[in-house]
Amino acid sequence: MDKFYKLDNIDKGILEILMKNAKISYTEIAKKLIVSTGTIHVRMKKMENYGIVKKIKLEINHEKIGYDLTSFLGIYLEKGSNYNYVINELNKIKEVVEAHYTTGIYSIFAKIICKNTKHMREILNDKIQQITSIQRTETIISLEQSIDKRISL
């Protein structure tokens, strides 16, 4: 298998359609692109095998289920060599929904979804700041998410 997969117009069309509506059936995609349903299956399997399509996931509006506070957490580590340990511990906390290894002042930049400020304080004090190797954290509260999109092909 080649290291890179060159996307053609059909592949790009499939991805564009799925990025707009991941619930659409392969049959509907095939109709839109004027190809067979089998072609869509084969192309999707190839893109999955190459790691282009990692997963198709359900996106939930957290506010509608009581998680009204989104914040970002800059995490300073005592030593960079503790990164894997800290990531494993953060992954155990359901409210931590993203974590990125970064350059700059933070070692890790994480996205946290909580019910309210009291809940966030509990997560910070009782869980995150109890992780060995975290030196300190800085919290940034999101007032509104103004852009949420995927890169277009």
Report pLDDT for 57. Answer: 79
Long-range CB contact pairs, 55-59, < 8 A, 24+: 56/18, 56/22, 57/22
Work out whether strand 69-77 and strand 134-142 pair parallel, antiparallel, or are unpaired. antiparallel
Integer angstrom CA distances of residue 109 from 82, 84, 135, 147: 15, 14, 14, 19
Report pLDDT for 151. Answer: 81
> What is the spatial distance between Cα 126 and Cα 7, in angstroms, rounded to a whole number?
47
pLDDT (tens digit, 9 = 90+) per residue, 75-115? 999 988 999 999 999 999 999 999 999 999 999 999 999 99
Q: What is the mean pLDDT of the chain?
A: 93
Task: Specify whether the CB–CB gap between 20 and 29 falls below 8 A.
Answer: no
Taken in order of first residue, the domains within the chain and their CATH numbers are 9-49 (1.10.10.10), 62-142 (3.30.70.920)
Q: Give me 113's structure tokens.
A: 């979804």
Report pLDDT for 80. Answer: 87
pLDDT band at residue 69, thresholds of 50, 70 and 90?
very high
pLDDT > 70 in the chain, percent: 98
Task: Specify whether the CB–CB gap between 69 and 119 falls below 8 A.
Answer: yes
Report pLDDT for 1. Answer: 52
Report pLDDT for 2. Answer: 62
Sole residue written with tokens 């790009």: 12
Identity of residue 105:
I
Q: Considering the entire predicted model, what is its pTM?
A: 0.80
